[in-house]
Amino acid sequence: MRGPAWPIGALLVGYPLWWALGFGGLSVIVLAVPMAVVLWRRRPVRVPRGFGLWALLLAGYLVSALMLAESPPGTYGDLGPGRVIGYVMRLALYVAVLVMVLYLGSLTERELPQLRLVRMLGVLFVTTVAGGLLGVFFPGFAFTAPMELLLPDWLAGNSFVQNLIHPTAAQTQKVLGFSLPRPEAPFEWANAWGSNASVLLVWFVVGWWVYGGSRQKVFVAAVLALAAIPVVYSLNRGLWIGLGLAVLYVVVRVGGRTRVVLCGAVTAAALAFALSPLASLVMQRLDKPHSNDIRAFTVTATLAAAGHSPIIGYGNTRNALGNHRTITTGKTQWCEGCGHPPLGSDGQLWLLIITQGFTGAALYVAFFLGAIRRHWRDRSPVGLAGVLVMGLVLLYMFVYDGLVTPLSLYLISFALLWRNSTRSDACLRSNA
């Protein structure tokens, strides 16, 4: 892509290259620099309604740094490089996505047509499906990225950093009682793959089916059929619930022949799925709520810890004493089940509560609720899709961390809604 819009093309279409280099979700931070240059040259900068809430969220995160050295009762650990690195990376991401939204709003329809932006998200969905299939059929695929070689060992070895810079195809977990790979390529975690797949699927359907020709619709059908494989093998209940609610939302909000056709397509797809081998894997996952006890323990511990700093939080996550099974802290040779995820790792809502207090969580919820309220009456395909994604954000905040790549996609979806409010749907059709 030429002209000032090239950073967004580099981010979405070029994402596989970023992943291979070891940047992955950090690519938005790198590309925020040329985006900021574009904004600087186009002063004054346009700001969407409700974006003051995001600015307050960012300001609150700066204040929360005052608590980085503190550990609430029931947690352990001292201030060290890992805690500081996590804080700085999250801060950089929050700033980068703020710049990205303002940058997208500054571009004219000629510089970056709305439909082109939607279709670039669709291209990333195809990449996501390819990565998911890689994780299913070649789960052991991994390699050392150039980024890993450049970083010092003490930084590259940090578990949080390692997830971001080390390309792997899948996470192997014992969700069903035995080791099974869950696809994560080209993202940082299996749950991030699930969240991103559902959001990108929405834009893939809009860009390549709704505004596509007959050949593009055949392509969409083929990709969606292939996507069912990693979607099921992800064992990701949040993703399954999100897709089910997305279908229900579309059925309710569209009318006429579109609703009839959609219901018929969903019925046919459900029947085909029920007759496929994938259905048994879904039933096994539903029969084994592997993570419920872990989540219950972590959420309870998060709320208890946050109660000691409810306004500004602690700037970063903390480790709880023990886990849902034992008071022993950390894995040992004789206690493989003693490990536990950090507080706030079971959903963006809980992450915000521990890092920024209940104030930060309220600002985050208010930001996306406000977007739904302002754009609910926009019944264009982009408007309907954008509101749907805002709803998925509020659903996923209970089960998925928004960091790192999901947050970028959430804010691009917000920017699409904002851009759509200043452009007519006729512009989209003229570019289709």
Question: At residue 333, does pLDDT exceed 60?
Answer: no
Report percent pLDDT > 90 for the chain: 60
Question: What does the mean pLDDT of the chain come to?
Answer: 87
Q: CA-to-CA distance for 124 and 118, rounded, in angstroms?
A: 10
Q: Would residue 357 be called left, alpha or beta, if left means φ above 0 and alpha means ψ between -120 and 50 degrees?
A: left
- Residue 183's H or E segment, with its range, is strand 180-183
Output the pLDDT for position 276. Answer: 60
Output the pLDDT for position 279. Answer: 63
Q: Would residue 225 be called left, alpha or beta, if left means φ above 0 and alpha means ψ between -120 and 50 degrees?
A: alpha
Report percent pLDDT > 70 for the chain: 87
Q: Which two tokens stand for residue 418?
A: 């904002």
How distant, in Å, are the alpha carbons of 83, 86, 163, 322 from that of 159? 11, 10, 6, 19
Question: At residue 10, does pLDDT exceed 90?
Answer: yes
Closest CA to 170 of 225, 236, 234: 234
Q: Give burial (CB, 10 Å; 0-12/13-18/19+) of 236.
A: buried
Output the pLDDT for position 175. Answer: 67
Residue pair 390/414 in contact by the 8 Å Cβ criterion: yes
Residue tagged 């590309």 (tokens): 31
Output the pLDDT for position 236. Answer: 85
What are residue 172's phi and psi, to 5 degrees? -95, 120
Mean pLDDT, residues 231-250 taken together: 88
Q: 360-396: per-residue pLDDT in tens?
A: 999 999 999 999 999 999 999 999 999 999 999 999 9
Mean pLDDT, residues 327-352 taken together: 67
How many other CB atoms are there within 10 angstroms of residue 216's CB atom? 17
Residue pair 354/314 in contact by the 8 Å Cβ criterion: yes
Q: 117-165: per-residue pLDDT in tens?
A: 999 999 999 999 999 999 999 999 999 999 999 988 888 877 778 888 9
- Residue 129's H or E segment, with its range, is helix 114-137
- Residue 181's H or E segment, with its range, is strand 180-183
Output the pLDDT for position 274. Answer: 67
Residue pair 70/2 in contact by the 8 Å Cβ criterion: no
Output the pLDDT for position 422. Answer: 82
Question: At residue 239, does pLDDT exceed 60?
Answer: yes
Question: At residue 213, does pLDDT exceed 50?
Answer: yes
Q: CA-to-CA distance for 60 and 402, rounded, in angstroms?
A: 17
Mean pLDDT, residues 287-304 taken together: 77
Output the pLDDT for position 292. Answer: 65
Helix (H, G, I), strand (E, B) or coil at 335: strand
- Write the DSSP symbol of residue 336: G
How many other CB atoms are there within 10 angstroms of residue 252's CB atom? 9
Output the pLDDT for position 155. Answer: 82
Q: 19-73: per-residue pLDDT in tens?
A: 999 999 899 999 999 999 999 999 899 999 999 999 999 999 999 999 999 989 8
Output the pLDDT for position 430. Answer: 53
Q: Choose the most confident range, by mean pLDDT, from 129-133, 188-192, 335-339, 343-347.
A: 129-133
Mean pLDDT, residues 207-230 taken together: 93
Output the pLDDT for position 282. Answer: 61
Closest CA to 313 of 94, 77, 68: 68
